[in-house]
Amino acid sequence: MKRACFLLQLKEDLIGEYREAHDVWPQMLAALSEAGFRNYSLFMRPDGLIVGYFGADDPQAALEAIGETEVNARWQQNMARFFTGRSGDLQEGGPEWLEEYFHLP
């Protein structure tokens, strides 16, 4: 399994509202699993910087697969207003992707 890590930035005035709204729908969880996402975690700094991490056999293929789902389109539409720019849209290259340079198995 390969790992992928990314950064997203929330609008500071919407951090509290984002936390309340980020109750992931069961259909979205199922779609992520079906697309190949594993061990998906999000971490947040107090200023709204989000660090996301997931594993997949092929992270790019997983992103493409989730991007083709209707539930993802609805999720993106509902959540987009919380992020600066397009940073919340994983399929559109919005987040900053981090390069893995060390891993201790």
How sure is the predictor about 80, in pLDDT bands with cuts at 50, 70 and 90? confident
pLDDT for 17-46, tens place per residue? 999 998 899 999 999 999 999 999 999 999
Instruction: Say which CATH topology domain 2-98 has.
Output: Alpha-Beta Plaits (3.30.70)
Under a CB-based contact definition with an 8 Å cutoff, are residues 76 and 8 in contact? no
pLDDT at 85 over 90: no
Structure tokens at 18: 């984002």
Distance in angstroms (rounded) separating the CA atoms of residues 35 and 62: 5
Domain boundaries, the chain: 2-98
How sure is the predictor about 96, in pLDDT bands with cuts at 50, 70 and 90? confident
Structure tokens at 41: 């975690």
